[in-house]
Amino acid sequence: MKADELHALLNARPFHPFLIHLGDGRELVVDHPEFLAASPTGDIAIVFRPEGGFNIVDVELVTALEVKPRKTTAQGNT
C-alpha cells in the first residue's frame, strides 16, 4: 500500500512536494522528484536532503504521506 502510494506521488505530473511521516516522529520533505529514489521492490526509499546527505527509509515504517499545500500569490494564482 504505502509503496504504491509513494510511487504514485513520485510519478505524479505535475509533481507536488510531499512529506513522509515516520513512526519515530520524523518528517522527511520531498520537494522534487529527484530527491527520492525507491528500490525496485518498493521496500526501501532514499530521501536526499537539499542541503546534502540522505536518509534511508524502510517503507514499512512510513505512517503517512502528506502532500504539501500549493503556494499561492496575493492574487490567488499558483
Q: Is 68 helix (H, G, I), strand (E, B) or coil?
A: coil
Write down the pLDDT at residue 49.
94
Write down the pLDDT at residue 69.
81
Can you give the pTM of this predicted structure? 0.83
Write down the pLDDT at residue 73.
57
Write down the pLDDT at residue 8.
93
Write down the pLDDT at residue 26.
95
* Residue boundaries of the structural domains of the chain: 2-67
Write down the pLDDT at residue 40.
87
Q: For domain 2-67, which architecture applies? A: Roll (2.30)
Element (H, E) at 8: helix 2-11
Integer angstrom CA distances of residue 3 from 23, 39, 57, 63: 16, 10, 11, 12
| Residue ranges in the chain whose pLDDT is less than 50 | none
